[in-house]
Every structure is written in structure tokens, then in C-alpha cells.
Amino acid sequence: MISFWNSARISLEYRVQVGNKDFYIDLLFFNRELACLVAIDLKITDFEPQYLGQLEFYLEALDRDVRKKNENPSVGLILCASKDDTVVEYALSRSMSPALVADYQLHLPDKTILTERLRELKELADIEEDVI
């Protein structure tokens, strides 16, 4: 079983520098079971496809400049006020990055749902690792 709570928070607003410009990831965790960085992008609006591009940019920056050789590729999560599943499906259809989009709730979801979502993230990370 993969537990999100088996993660250590690295930073709120973690700064990554690409070229001469600074970018800020809302939350950055390291999951010990997945052995990877987990970038979380928080949005107070409905999901927009361009959010995925921003998250993929963050994941690339983390993998090139922050990730250690013994760690798996970074994964990402976009938490939005709400999402249209069809828009999310289209946005993710060509994405190679291990990313999920979820609408946030004011209470924690059932533990089995959370566990299933994290299992999906791990499978995506494993698939990407096999491709690389």
C-alpha cells in the first residue's frame, strides 16, 4: 500500500530557476515509497488545459536540476476548485508526464480512494521509467 502520508514536505513555494527566471511550485513533497518528488500545483479556479503545461514544465525542471540519480522521475498533481472530466481527458491524452488532475475537497476523501489514486501515480511513474 502506498501512503501519501509517507511523504516529507520539502517546501511551500519551492523555487526552481530555469534560465534567468524563477518559478515557484506551490507544494513540493518527497514520497519515500515512490522514491520521487511530488509537485502539487494549487488552483482556486476550474481546471484549464494550460495548467498541465505549467506542471509539466515544473516536472522537467525538477527532474533535470533537483532529482537525484537514485530517485524516480517526479510526479505532479494539479488540485483545482473543479474540473470537467472531458477537458481533463483531452489535456492528458498526449501528455507523457505522470500527472493527475483532481478537484479539491474541504474534507479528506476515503482512504481507499486516496490509495487507489496514488497507486495510479506509481504505475505512471513506473511506465515512464521503463520508457527512459
Q: Mind giving me the DSSP string for 44-108? A: SSB--THHHHHHHHHHHHHHHHT--TTSPPPEEEEEESB--HHHHHHHHTT--S-EEEEE--SSP
How do residues 56-115 score in pLDDT, each as one tens digit? 999 999 999 999 999 999 999 999 989 999 999 999 888 878 888 887 766 667 888 888
For residue 12, what are the contacts with CB-CB under 8 A and spacing of at least 6? 26, 27
Distance CA 55, CA 65 (A): 15
The mean per-residue pLDDT over the stretch 15-32 comes to 94
Domains and CATH numbers, the chain: 4-131 (3.40.1350.10)
pTM, to two decimals: 0.69
